[in-house]
Structure 1
Amino acid sequence: MLSTATAIAVPAAVAAHPYAGGGGPGWWIVFPILWFLLFATVVFLIARRARRYGPPWARGGAGGVDVLGERYARGEIDEAEYRQRLAVLKEDRR
């Protein structure tokens, strides 16, 4: 225990305040609200991404078709080669 000689001096105005060190009435609700807002924001961003790009388990299959379409759009391959490679990719998916 602390003796009176080693005790920390607390100003009388602070010691007399009913909420000394507690931050006042109502601050107890702020942190749960902030945690809820953080959680809701994460859920919202995940849902928005899933709506925009589709669920993660459904996105992986068409990667080759996308690359093939980009190469055709850039002019790296002609239409005949595009259609031939597209047919091969569609066969592989089945």
Structure 2
Amino acid sequence: MHDGFGFGVSGGFMWLFWIGLIILIIWAVKATASGKSTPSERHKSAIEILKERYANGEIDREEFEQKRKDLTS
């Protein structure tokens, strides 16, 4: 006879099903969210990095031109 608490054999499997489903949903959301990459996360070329360093003032024009020449030859 069913007592309404769901502690029987079928009730136990039902709890396992719902817990498993919740874990699966959480895993899927995390996997989808971590798969997205922003442009700043993608691999940058050496020229792009060099341009950023020049724009940020880390290197001067002379050093920029020399390194650009080295990279393009």
Instruction: Please tell me the residue identity of whatever aligns with 2:17.
Output: I
Unaligned segments of structure 1, at least 5 residues: 1-15
Larger Rg: 1
| Change over 3 Å in CA distance of 1:39–1:76 after alignment to 2 | closer
- Percent of residue pairs bearing the same amino acid type: 22
Alignment partner of 1:79 is 2:61? yes
1:40 aligns with 2:28: yes
TM, length-normalised to structure 2: 0.54
Kept after mapping to 2: 8 A contact 1:71/1:77 = yes
SS at structure 1 position matched to 2:59: coil
Which of the pair has the greater relative contact order for Cα pairs under 8 Å at 6+ separation?
2
Misfit runs of 4+, over 3 Å: 16-22
Q: Aligned pairs, how many? A: 67
> For residues 38-73 of structure 1, what are the alpha-carbon distances to aligned partners after superposition, in whole Å with 9 as ceiling and x for unaligned?
221232023212xx234xxxx2x625741x333312
User: Alignment RMSD, CA only?
Assistant: 3.3
